[in-house]
């Protein structure tokens, strides 16, 4: 007992006590003052959504439902989302005594609020525990930098060419849209549909992951890479305007989705992309709806086949020691089915540019290119024990058969029958014979997911000339960056090369080099003096000197 210091009365402890969670467990009624505002209570109850950490199952979630069932005969919420805990990188619980605590404000200062938010949302399902690994947040930062580069690329060229999205949209340029434009428009509208569904189903991590994949794989690595050639032309063309309208449409919709997981970056994009009748903030926009008329599932399927085939084709290039910026003589695609063949035929020009090849040949399903042949090899470990003394004659007879007919019969029946000189008939099964594929010296092969891919590595003077030009272009572009030049700045270039053959190669591609580097004047000399910002470069085992001056 205690004496009250105010009134002098006696204070006693309450004998009968209840879990204090019961106080919080009345939040469904107390938080909106339901006793005095019954209409508001009827309007809101039961509540749509509640979320807390997994340890609230016994505490808050239970007492809320317990008291609500006592008072109203039903649960107070429609949907519950249990959240897991954040552990350290090794999966251990964070503790000040262990010294493994990562404080939220410190993480924000180190990584930034948006990268941290996107990481936490996409790393694991909300209801699972997650290990916080700092280097994984760095990966998110890299991905957002990729997006920033795409945004900068778009807005820079919008400005250079005076593109006005209030006057030109995808509807006005519809007939000028190329396949890659229609594909990315379809992808962003499908993304809106899937992203929205994931949010509504509380699959927040899935929504964030497909957003990241779209940014890196679809928008940056495939679309932007494929349209650079169309925006680099000097004159204003409908093809260029189609790219701008497409990029604007995609970035506008993407910005709305990003507002959920990267609100600060989304706000920055919104301010740059705002139209005159747009609200002040991205967070005041209406949630985007997919434009079904622009969704083309067949085109998306074809582009997915193309994307996988590009990956497989680049693998064979790498094995052959051919850099992507060096053009090759030819690729030959032998599709595995009619679906793949249709995709290759529809996207032939797109594939040709992406593969950086002079020629692209598409064969019939499972067809072999000219010059590729098969040689029959007996499997002696199988055929010997089975046929004994007859093996020699069997091998002689098999070697004289038409290889293609032999392969076809074995694939159809699984065996062939041979009559030997003694009148006996032997059965040769498919496991007794192997077929070795023989290629010309200049051909390389890779079995891809949708096609067998053949690469012709023959080097011609034309290929060497183009390859050297692209190497020089890359060096000049690097020097432009080092000089902090604007995209719109023009330059003059002097080059000192080791011999007349080099000069001949570069003279024949002079206009190509000038167009790719915004160069007004280009002079190629044999071991001459160069002026301006000068650097030495090694290309193909030879040293050249390049001088760049801003005009």
283 and 189 both lie in a single domain: yes
385 sits in which H/E element: helix 380-387
DSSP secondary-structure letter at 168?
-
93-115, pLDDT tens digit by residue? 888 888 888 888 998 999 999 99
Q: What percent of the chain has pLDDT over 90?
A: 61
pLDDT at 132: 87
- Binned at pLDDT 50, 70 and 90, residue 195 comes out as very high
Given this model, what pLDDT does residue 147 score? 96
The answer, yes or no, to whether residue 506 has pLDDT greater than 80, is yes
Same domain (yes/no): 285, 182: yes
The predicted structure's pLDDT at residue 8 = 85
CB 40 within 8 Å of CB 32: yes
| Residues 342-376 as b or e (16 or more Cβ within 10 Å = b) | ebbebbeebbeebbbbbebbbbeeeebbeebeeeb
Average pLDDT over residues 263-277: 95
pLDDT in tens, 116-172: 999 999 999 888 888 988 899 999 999 999 999 999 999 999 998 999 999 999 999
19 falls in which pLDDT band (50, 70, 90)?
A: confident
- Span 308-335, pLDDT tens digits: 999 999 999 999 988 888 899 999 999 9
Count up the domains in the chain and report the number: 5
Q: How confident is the model at residue 13 (pLDDT cuts 50, 70, 90)?
A: confident
Q: In whole angstroms, what is the distance from residue 144 CA to residue 518 CA?
A: 29
Query: Average pLDDT, stretch 468-474?
Result: 91
Residues 451, 478, single domain; the answer is no
pLDDT digits (tens, 9 = 90+) for 44-55: 999 999 999 888
Residue 393 has pLDDT above 80, yes or no: yes
Which of 298-307, 352-361, 394-403, 515-524 comes out lowest in average pLDDT? Answer: 394-403
**Residue 191 maps to a domain:** yes
Q: Within this chain, do residues 252 and 158 fall inside the same structural domain, yes or no?
A: yes
pLDDT at 234 > cutoff 80: no
Residue 318: CB partners within 8 Å, gap ≥ 6? none
Report pLDDT digits (tens) over 243-264.
Answer: 999 999 999 999 999 999 999 9
In this predicted structure, the answer to whether residue 34 has a pLDDT above a threshold of 90 is no
> For position 203, which CATH number holds?
1.10.730.10
Which range among 185-189, 230-234, 438-442, 536-540 shows the weakest confidence by mean pLDDT? Answer: 230-234
**pTM exceeds 0.85 for this model:** no
Mean pLDDT for 403-420 is 86
Q: Are 269 and 151 contacting, i.e. CB atoms less than 8 angstroms apart?
A: yes
- Of 127, 148, 7, 117, give the one whose Cα is nearest residue 79: 127
Tell me, yes or no, whether 353 lies in a domain.
yes
The verdict on residue 102 lying in a domain is no
- Measure Cα distances from 6 to 12, 13, 14 in Å: 15, 17, 20
* 283 and 233 in a common domain: yes
420 and 471 co-located in one domain: no
Average pLDDT of the chain is 91
Q: What are the Cα distances from residue 518, in Å, to 155, 228, 373?
A: 19, 14, 48
Which of 111-115, 208-212, 400-404 comes out lowest in average pLDDT?
A: 400-404
Check whether residue 160 and residue 244 sit in a common domain. Answer: yes
**pLDDT at residue 399 in the model:** 84
pLDDT of residue 281: 96
Cβ atoms of 374 and 408 closer than 8 Å? no
DSSP-based three-state secondary structure for 98: coil
pLDDT tier for residue 436 given thresholds of 50, 70 and 90: confident
Please say if the pLDDT value at position 541 is more than 90.
Answer: no
- State the pLDDT at residue 29: 92
Does 311 share its domain with 332? yes
Written as six digits, the tokens of 300 are: 């998306």
Last residue of a domain, one of 269, 295, 321: 295
User: Are both 281 and 322 inside the same structural domain?
Assistant: no
CATH number of the structural domain spanning residue 398: 3.30.720
Instruction: Evaluate whether residue 71 is within a structural domain.
Output: yes
The CA–CA distances, whole Å, from 210 to 120, 196, 260 equal 15, 11, 13
Assigned domain for 114 exists: no
Task: State how far the Cα of 415 lies from the Cα of 393, in Å rounded to an integer.
Answer: 17
State which residues form the domain around 353: 299-369+441-456
Q: What is the CATH number of the domain that holds 322?
A: 3.30.2320
291 secondary structure, DSSP code: -
Residue 484 sits at φ, ψ, to 5 deg, of 55, 40
* Same domain flag for 144 and 291: yes
520 inside domain = yes
Chain-centre distance of CA 503, in angstroms? 40
Mean pLDDT across 394-417: 86
Considering the domain architecture, whether residues 158 and 290 belong to the same structural domain is answered as yes
Within a domain: residue 100? no
Q: What integer pLDDT is reported at residue 236 of this predicted model?
A: 84
- SS3 state at 119: helix
Domain end position, chosen among 262, 295, 328: 295
Q: Within this chain, do residues 265 and 321 fall inside the same structural domain, yes or no?
A: no
Q: Is residue 89 part of a domain?
A: no
Q: Of 231, 145, 230, 168, whose CA–CA distance to 487 is shortest?
A: 231
């Amino acid at each position: 007992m205690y004496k009250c210091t105010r009134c002098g009365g006696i204070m006693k402890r309450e004998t009968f006590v209840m879990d204090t969670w019961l106080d919080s467990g009345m939040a469904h009624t107390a938080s909106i003052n339901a006793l005095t505002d019954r209409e508001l209570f009827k309007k809101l109850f039961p509540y749509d959504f509640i979320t807390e950490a997994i340890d609230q199952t016994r505490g808050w979630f239970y007492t809320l439902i317990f008291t609500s069932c006592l008072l109203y005969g039903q649960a107070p919420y429609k949907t519950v989302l249990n959240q897991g805990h954040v552990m350290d990188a090794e999966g251990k619980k964070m503790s000040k005594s262990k010294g493994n605590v990562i404080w939220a404000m410190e993480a924000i200062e180190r990584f930034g609020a948006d990268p941290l938010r996107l990481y936490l949302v996409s790393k694991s399902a909300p209801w699972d525990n997650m290990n916080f690994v700092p280097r994984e947040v760095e990966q998110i930062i890299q991905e957002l930098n990729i997006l920033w580069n795409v945004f900068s690329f778009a807005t820079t060229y919008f400005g250079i060419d005076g593109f006005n999205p209030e006057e030109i949209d995808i509807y006005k340029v519809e007939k000028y849209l190329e396949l890659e434009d229609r594909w990315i428009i379809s992808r962003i509208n499908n993304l809106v549909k899937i992203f929205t569904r994931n949010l509504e189903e509380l699959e927040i991590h899935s929504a964030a992951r497909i957003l990241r994949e779209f940014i890196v794989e679809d928008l940056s690595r495939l679309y932007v890479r494929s349209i650079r050639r169309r925006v680099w032309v000097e004159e204003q063309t409908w093809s260029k305007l189609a790219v701008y309208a497409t990029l604007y449409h995609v970035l506008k919709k993407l910005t709305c989705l990003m507002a959920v997981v990267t609100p600060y970056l989304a706000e920055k994009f919104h301010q740059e992309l705002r139209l005159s009748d747009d609200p002040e903030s991205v967070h005041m926009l209406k949630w985007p709806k997919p434009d079904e008329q622009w969704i083309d599932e067949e085109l998306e399927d074809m582009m997915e086949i193309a994307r996988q085939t590009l990956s497989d084709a680049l693998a064979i290039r790498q094995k052959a020691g051919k850099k992507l910026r060096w053009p090759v003589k030819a690729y030959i695609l032998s599709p595995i089915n009619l679906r793949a063949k249709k995709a290759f035929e529809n996207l032939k020009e797109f594939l040709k540019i992406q593969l950086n090849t002079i020629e692209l040949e598409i064969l019939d399903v499972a067809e072999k290119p000219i010059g590729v042949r098969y040689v029959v090899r007996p499997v002696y470990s199988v055929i010997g024990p089975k046929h004994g003394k007859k093996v020699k004659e069997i091998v002689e007879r098999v070697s004289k058969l038409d290889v293609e007919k032999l392969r076809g019969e074995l694939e159809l029946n699984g065996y062939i029958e041979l009559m030997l000189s003694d009148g006996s008939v032997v059965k040769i099964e498919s496991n007794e014979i192997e077929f070795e594929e023989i290629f010309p010296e200049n051909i390389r092969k890779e079995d891809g997911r949708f096609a067998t891919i053949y690469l012709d590595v023959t080097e011609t003077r034309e290929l060497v000339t183009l390859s050297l030009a692209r190497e020089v272009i890359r060096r000049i572009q690097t020097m432009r960056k080092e000089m902090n030049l604007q995209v719109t700045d023009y330059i003059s270039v002097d080059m000192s090369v080791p011999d007349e053959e080099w000069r001949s190669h570069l003279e024949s591609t002079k206009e190509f080099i000038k167009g790719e580097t915004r160069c007004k004047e280009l002079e190629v000399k044999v071991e001459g003096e160069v002026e301006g910002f000068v650097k030495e470069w090694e290309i193909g085992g030879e040293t050249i000197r390049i001088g760049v001056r801003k005009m």
